[in-house]
Amino acid sequence: MTPPRNRAWLLNLDADRELATVGHYTPPVSIQRQVHAQAEHTESLRQGEELLPYGPTNGGPSEGVKKTDHPTDGRPVFAWCPTHRAISWGGPNVIRGPQLSVLREANHRQFLSRIPQHTLGGVYLTGPDAIAGLLADLGTNKLRLKRAFGFAGKGQRSIGQLPSADDQRWITDSVKRLGLWCEAAVDITHEYSIHGYVDEEELWVGSSCVAVTDAYGAPASFDLRERMNAPMSDTEQQQQLNAAHDVAAALRSVGYFGPFGVDSFAFNADGQRVYCAASDVNARFTLAWSLGMGALRERALGRYQRRATRSPEGPKR
């Protein structure tokens, strides 16, 4: 089947690395190759639409990758996240989203502090004193630590009562960078997500999805929750929807517009099911975005494209 010709996609799946970098960002060729390999498995987002090359192909150069002109025939190009590198690589047809400072703020894990009612009560820690206090007070608790930016389960780890030397090195390195989001570590039984589009005038929220993850916490597949027969009470469904609306309001408050997703999960505590309505906020496209948006997909992409034309300067540093 010939893919539709009305748009194309440039999937800079390393956007979180770029957002975490101050100054010019040039990923190692190894990362570029990983991004290229992962981007081939994004049909759920693209829905048959063309994938443009971003980084080396399997037969590409071993070092040094140059941007090439993409024959998009005037079609709009949607980036995973419209960072400087995505716009530079994809050329003038890339849909230009919010300024880079907004993208950084909206995708930074400290953003979760804006919606504390939907999290596990996590806190964002910076500085060696805060981390030293955290380690001193661990006791028998187990914590989940997340770096400021991350994708597909990367940049996270759980630590227990006796952090290893590698744990302490990782923590120290993370603090030197941008800090750590700290929350209780729990044994997750189900992972969900909900997706939407937001700007200063519109908000559309799609259907609930379920994620199946691999042993490393990275999403391996997705489906609509109603097709997966995944448990979710009426109360939890309302909590998920409320979280999506509250996240959208928080995104608006920092000047963000575009696609977004909110991850959530359920776990057991003392034999009782507990639901956390917001474990991560993704102010960009996600692998399950098109699936979750369903019939709203075309409407949202069209709105995003029209809204982006009012920001021709693209993201600023």
Tens of pLDDT along 25-70?
888 787 788 888 788 789 999 999 999 988 655 444 433 344 545 5
Q: Which backbone phi and psi does 206 adopt, to 5 degrees?
A: -90, -160
CA distance 52 to 72: 9
Average pLDDT over residues 66-78: 69
Q: Which backbone phi and psi does 9 adopt, to 5 degrees?
A: -125, 140
Give domain status of residue 269, yes or no: yes
Average pLDDT over residues 77-88: 94
Residue 153 has pLDDT above 80, yes or no: no
**What are the angstrom distances between the C-alpha of 273 and each of 225, 231, 237, 240, 266?**
18, 11, 14, 15, 7
Instruction: 212-220: list long-range contacts, CB under 8 Å, 24+ apart.
Output: 213/153, 216/153, 217/152, 217/153, 217/156, 218/152, 218/153, 218/154, 219/152, 219/153, 219/191, 219/287, 219/288
Give domain status of residue 37, yes or no: yes
Residue 275 has pLDDT above 90, yes or no: yes
> Does one domain contain both 282 and 213?
yes
Please tell me the predicted confidence (pLDDT) of residue 209: 95
> Does one domain contain both 286 and 213?
yes
Residue 316 has pLDDT above 70, yes or no: no
Per the structure, the count of domains in the chain is: 3
Please tell me the predicted confidence (pLDDT) of residue 124: 82
Please tell me the predicted confidence (pLDDT) of residue 191: 92
Q: Using 50, 70 and 90 to split pLDDT, how confident is the model at 306?
A: very high
Please tell me the predicted confidence (pLDDT) of residue 294: 96
Please tell me the predicted confidence (pLDDT) of residue 174: 75
CATH code at 253?
3.30.470.20
Give domain status of residue 115, yes or no: no
Residue 152, classed as helix, strand or coil, is coil
Contact 315, 105 (CB under 8 A): no
> Does one domain contain both 281 and 263?
yes
> End of a domain among 184, 215, 236?
184
Give domain status of residue 251, yes or no: yes
Please tell me the predicted confidence (pLDDT) of residue 41: 83
Q: Using 50, 70 and 90 to split pLDDT, how confident is the model at 311?
A: low
pTM (predicted TM-score) = 0.86
> End of a domain among 157, 184, 211?
184
> End of a domain among 184, 208, 233?
184
Q: Which domain holds residue 135?
A: 123-184
Choice among 102-116, 139-153, 272-286 with the minimum mean pLDDT? 139-153
Tens of pLDDT along 181-208?
888 888 889 999 999 999 999 999 999 9
Contact 79, 86 (CB under 8 A): yes
Residue 124, classed as helix, strand or coil, is strand
Give domain status of residue 112, yes or no: no
Q: Which amino acid is at 286?
A: T
Q: What percent of the chain has pLDDT over 70?
A: 81
The count of other CB atoms within 10 Å of the CB of residue 201 is: 9
CA distance 104 to 233: 34
| Closest alpha carbon to 169 in 186, 157, 152 | 157
For the chain, the average pLDDT equals 83
> Does one domain contain both 283 and 293?
yes
Q: Which backbone phi and psi does 275 adopt, to 5 degrees?
A: -115, 130
CA distance 295 to 47: 12
> Does one domain contain both 158 and 225?
no
Please tell me the predicted confidence (pLDDT) of residue 62: 33
pLDDT: which is higher, 311 or 238 = 238
What angle do helix axes 165-177 and 128-136 make, rounded to 10 degrees?
Answer: 150
Give the sign of the dihedral formed by CA 42, CA 103, CA 8, CA 30: negative
> Does one domain contain both 175 and 211?
no
